[in-house]
Each structure stands twice: as C-alpha cells, then as structure tokens.
Chains A and B, each alone.
Chain A
Amino acid sequence: MMRATVLAVFAAMLALPAAQAADPVKAAFVYVGPIGDHGWTYQHDQGRLAVEKAFGDKVETLYVENVAEGPDAERAIERFAREGADIVFTTSFGFMNPTIKVAKRFPDVKFEHATGYKRADNVATYSARFYEGRYVIGQIAAKMSKSGVAGYVASFPIPEVVRGINSFLLGAQSVNPDFKLKIVWVNTWFDPGKEADAAKALIDQGADIMTQHTDSPAPIQIAGERGVHGFGQASDMDAFAPAAHYTAIIDDWSAYYVARVKAVMDGTWESGDVWGGFDADMVVMAPYTDLPEDVAADAAAMVEKIRSGEFHPFTGPIHDQEGKLRVAEGERADEGMLLGMNWYVKGVDDKLPQ
C-alpha cells in the first residue's frame, strides 16, 4: 500500500512536468538592445508579440534584453536552452558564434540566428534585404537634397552595413551621378548621444539628408532640429521629427516568426536560410510624408519593381572605389557577393575601416 502510494506520487511528479512541457511551445528571443529602443530590438519584439497573438496559450514566449555580443550571449542562449525552450531566436549578428556553440550542446532545440551565415542541422538563419529599401531612400535623397551631400551614421563595418551604404549610394547616383556621401562610424548599435553628435557633425559639414544604420531615433531628431531631412531606421520614426521624416525602412519580422513557430508546432521545422525583402513583406516602407507627389509615386513604383524582381539594386556596371569593375554591365550581384560585401562602390568619400 505504502509502496503503491509512493509510486503514485512519483508517477504524478514525473507526469506533471511532462504534461506541461507537451502543451505550449516555448519560443525564446535574445535581444541585443532594449525593447524600448524604438528601433531594431523593438521591431523584433513586435514579431514576438505577433507570435503570442497568433497562437494564444499554445505558445509561451520568453525574452532577454540588452545581451552584449560576446561571452554573455552564450550564457543567455544556453539559459533558454536549459529552461526548455523549443526554439530560440538570436537577433544580432554578433550572436552567431555563441548560437552555433550552444546549438551543438542542445541538438534537440531549434535555433534561428538573424543576419548571420553559419548554419547547422538545428540552426537556421534569416535576414531581411534592407538594402532594397536603402536603394529607394537613396533615390529620394538625391531628388530632395539641395547640397548634393547626404550624411550616414554607421555602426560597425560589417557586410550588412556596407551593403546598405553601397545600395543607398547606387540609388542616389541613379538620380545624380555626382551625389556625395559622408560617413561617420560610431562603433555602437545604440547610443543616442553619440548618434546625435555624429549627425550634428555630418550636418555641420554640409549634409542636408540624414540617414543612419544605428538603432535610436536620435539622428532623425537632430535632422529635425537643424531643419534638414532624413529617414527613419527599423521602425517608423515620424513622431520624433514630423517635419523631417520622409519615410523609413521598417523591419517586419512578424510573418517569419509566426511561420517558424508554427513549423515547430507541426514538427516540420528544418534548418535553412531565409533572406526576404519587399517580396516577403520583411522589409516595408513607412508612409511617404513631406515629399512631392511625383517623388513619392516614383518611390512606390521602385518598391514594386524590386518586389516583382524586375529590378535589382545591385545591377551592373558597378565599380568599386579603386575603379575595379565588380559587377559587369547588365548582370546582378550574386548572393555570395552581397553577403560578404567588404568594399565600397565608387563615389563613397570614406575609407572602409578594416
């Protein structure tokens, strides 16, 4: 009798966590910045909320903010794996190696790494073709600029950022071949003060269009204060500079996150690489404001051309800074070249930090 009771209690104890674990799928998110950055991390969190909304109590989401790129990231990722997460999204380039390392130790957990290129059986990668949006804003910049100089607040010299700079300038050059681009590297993804200082320096040196590849709304806000114009980054930043904000390149991760969590639920998840742009609705343009009608209409038409595949921003001839032909006339840059881009196109007034 006694033994039976003990066994029953044991069985209950064993069964309880098992039953719970079988129920909701646990999806975990590792963020590089705070949700409140109103930029990169904010948009990833919107994706997380979309997952919650789509699956209700069939899913449980976990997240951790402000994880530094480096050894800290490995601990954060591993903690989620230990806590029984079924799928872990690591949302910054610098989380690549930690993700791969942890994935080796937890073969049953699925990992998704944003913007990286290393994959494994249980590690998929995904990213968005932000450069498509950058080509569009490059064209707008060249049409609207009076000084013919744009300022670019850049974070780190990685291919993702370099590709964006090149695409922006190619777009601008398609309108005005002499368009100039000034670049300041702030060596951080998120520091509103530094981003603002960089924007001020660029404007003081003659830039009248402000664009950025950092995460806070500070540069566009400075543009508004100084009476020049610019573009939001990652999310719609119109509220921060209503008179200055032409449009923004919005990252929309919702559809992707919902689809991948669904795949885990259905048991159909597979490793792979998704790199979606306008066509996958992963990159969306914010409403065009303060622009002449024809400029806005041209921009919308260009978005459609890129979406349908009729046009590719990296269509030759493209020369690099030394004048070497990188993409021949009429050809398109291949995926390998785009992913590993570590050279500037002709016309960039900066030396790429190595």
Chain B
Amino acid sequence: MTGFEAVVLTIVTAATPLLIAALGELVTERSGVLNLGVEGMMIVGAVTGFAGAQLTGSPYLGVIAAMAGGMALSSLFGFLVLRLAANQVASGLALTLLGLGLSGMIGEAFIGQPGLKLERIDIPFLTDLPVVGTILFGQDPLVYASVALAVCVSRFLFHTRAGLALRAVGNNHASAHMLGVHVIRTRFLAVLFGGACSGLAGGYLSLAYTPQWVEGMTAGRGWIALALVVFASWMPLRAAVGAYLFGGALILQFHAQAEGIPLPSQFLSALPYIATVAALVILSRDQWRARNDSPSCLGQVFVPDR
C-alpha cells in the first residue's frame, strides 16, 4: 500500500460516519423536523451494533442492530414532537442526553471486549489495480453503502413523487396538508429514516472504525453531522463533499504533525471547524439563496385541524 492510498483510506474512514449521519438528518430536516438528538442516536447505534455483533457473532447483524437502535430512539422523538407536539429543540437535546446515558447502561457488559470488525472487501483483480485499486474496490461495505445512500437520497428528494411530497411537507405543511399529504406520517417516516442513519453511523464507529465499545465514543460527531447539513444547504451530494472535506482536513493535519511541519497543533486541530465556519459564511452571503435553501417549516409544530 502506498502512502497516498493509506491517506485516502484513512480520510474515507473518517468521513463515512459523518456522511451517513448527515444524510439521515438531512432527510429529517427536509421534512421540517429539526432533530438535535443525532449524537444520542449515534451512540445508541454504536452500542446496540456492538452488542448485536458480539451476541450473534456476525458484524452484519450488528449493522442491523445499530440501525434498529437508532430507529428505536428516533421513534420516541417522533412520538414526542409529532404526536404530542413537544418543542423540537428541547426534545432533541433531551434525546442526546438520554442516548448518552442509556448507551452507557447497555454497554456496561461489553467494556473491555475487543469487537468484531466489518472486514474490507477484496474483489479479485480490481483490488490489486495500482493506486485506485484499494481506494475504489477495497473499502468496507458501509463505505459503498454511504456513497450509494447519498445518490439515492438525492434521487429520491428531487426526482420522485414521494420526495416532492416530503419537501412540500417541510416547506409549507399547511398547503401540503390541504393537498392531502399526510404531514404527520411523512414526518414520522423521515424521523425514523434519520434515526436509522444515525444508528448506522454509530455502528460504523463500533464495528469498522474502531471495533470496540467505550462510553462516549462518538465524541461529538453527531454535532458535526448536524453542522454538515447546514454546510450542505440541505443538498445530499454537497453533504458528501462536506464530509470528505472535513475528514480530509482532520487527517491531513495529523500527517502534517507527524511530518514535523511546525504549525501549532491546536490550530491544526481547529482547522476542520474553521473550514466549516468559513464555508457557512460564504454560503450565507447570498441572503435570498440562504432563505430559499432551508426548509421553511423547519422546527415548526404542525397540528392538523380537528
């Protein structure tokens, strides 16, 4: 493996969980629901994924368990904000706290156990190709899934009827309701999708990134995913670009340090975040576009007429 390949592989691994979680949240927000509980759903996905893999002996069943874990927590959120019309910001924050605590409790039995790793795929001949071989054909299955997911979400949102309905619900729930779109049901499904993605992203951490369970192992990645959604101005493919940029900045600063490039490490560590802020500033300069991009009903409660 050449140095270049190794660096790209590391960047992809760092970007994938961010991308998966961001895509889920993007769909949720497109439907008009702001779920700040990504971090909580991610950590629950990480622990249920790890537990699933340990108990069944199969990392693939672990992946399913991770998605189920994230979905379970998101359904609670959906019940609170859609059925009971609770405040979305408060409920989302509560979900994060709940997820962090709950995962610690579930995970207690699994501390100190080495995990099962989701193996990288080896395609005969293709993986052996020089330079592009490992990068294109030697990743773990979830990396391919995340790229496919970005394309599918983009197709779904902008080229299908259901996607149009979902965006309509997010942009003007009253009109969508008039037209006969089931607002609450659409939003609930979007919330569940977001939960499954967050759980999957958490599972990626505990099954592929660092196959182990340690409490708090998401370490704020859920919040970065939330920022990515805004960074991408709610566009799936832009979220992919953002995730890889972020992963790239993170990994390259480690390489710069190991090379002994004399830049302050605190500055290098902050670089990915500075890049995000800079991108946000550039994107939001255009007021009309900024307003137009974000779902108009984001965070607003919808109660159907009785």
Contact = CB atoms under 8 A, between A and B. Distances in A.
A207 B254 CA distance: 14
Interface size class of B (residues with CB under 8 A): 35 or more
A36 interface: yes
A280 B76 CA distance: 51
Contact of A217 (B214, B219, B269): B214
Nearest to A199: B254
Contacts, number: 132
Contacts of A187: 265-266, 269
Contact of A185 (B114, B250, B269): B269
A204 B254 CA distance: 11
A201 B258 CA distance: 7
Interface in A306-354: 349-351, 353-354
Given A239-B114, A240-B114, A201 B210 contact: no
Interface in A151-208: 151, 157, 182-188, 190-198, 200-202, 204-205, 207
Interface string B260-273: 10101110010000
Contact of B212 (A184, A188, A240, A353): A240
A197 B14 contact: yes
Interface string B218-239: 0111000000000000000000
Contact of A193 (B14, B112, B117, B255): B14
A197 B246 CA distance: 13
Contact of B265 (A205, A217, A353): A353
A192 B204 CA distance: 13
A137 B264 CA distance: 28
A190, A201, A218 interface centre (most CB from chain B within 10 Å): A201
Interface string B196-225: 000000000100011111111101110000
Given A37-B215, A190-B219, A197 B251 contact: yes
B205 to A, nearest CB: 6
Contact of B219 (A65, A191, A201, A350): A191
B3 interface: yes
B6 interface: yes
A216 B113 contact: no
Interface in A228-244: 239-241
A216 to B, nearest CB: 5
Given A34-B104, A204-B10, A240-B114, A196 B209 contact: yes
B259 interface: yes
A35 interface: yes
Nearest to A201: B254
Given A184-B257, A351-B262, A216 B10 contact: no
Interface size class of A (residues with CB under 8 A): 35 or more
A200 B6 contact: yes
B128 interface: no
A66 interface: yes
B216 to A, nearest CB: 5
Contacts of A262: none
B250 A221 contact: no
A276 B250 CA distance: 38
Contact of A196 (B114, B210, B255): B210
Contact of B114 (A193, A221, A351): A221
A38 interface: yes
A33 interface: yes
Contact of B258 (A184, A188, A191, A353): A184
B244 to A, nearest CB: 14
A201 B108 contact: no
Given A193-B209, A197-B10, A197-B14, A204 B269 contact: no
B163 interface: no
Nearest to B107: A36
B299 to A, nearest CB: 27
Contacts of B219: 188, 190-194
Interface string B157-185: 00000000000000000000000000000
B111 A36 contact: yes
Contact of B111 (A38, A190, A198): A38
A201 B215 contact: no
A183 B265 CA distance: 11
A196 B205 CA distance: 11
B7 interface: yes
A188 B218 CA distance: 13
Contact of A204 (B108, B112, B255, B266): B255
A353 B264 contact: yes
Contacts of B220: 191
Contacts of B3: 204-205
Given A34-B216, A240-B114, 14 more contacts: A33-B215, A35-B111, A184-B265, A185-B269, A190-B219, A192-B217, A193-B14, A197-B10, A197-B251, A201-B7, A204-B3, A204-B255, A216-B214, A239-B114
The 6 closest A-B pairs by CB, nearest first: A34-B215, A36-B215, A185-B265, A201-B254, A191-B219, A204-B6
16 contacts: A33-B215, A36-B214, A36-B216, A38-B112, A38-B214, A151-B258, A185-B266, A185-B269, A193-B209, A197-B10, A201-B255, A204-B3, A218-B212, A222-B210, A350-B260, A353-B266
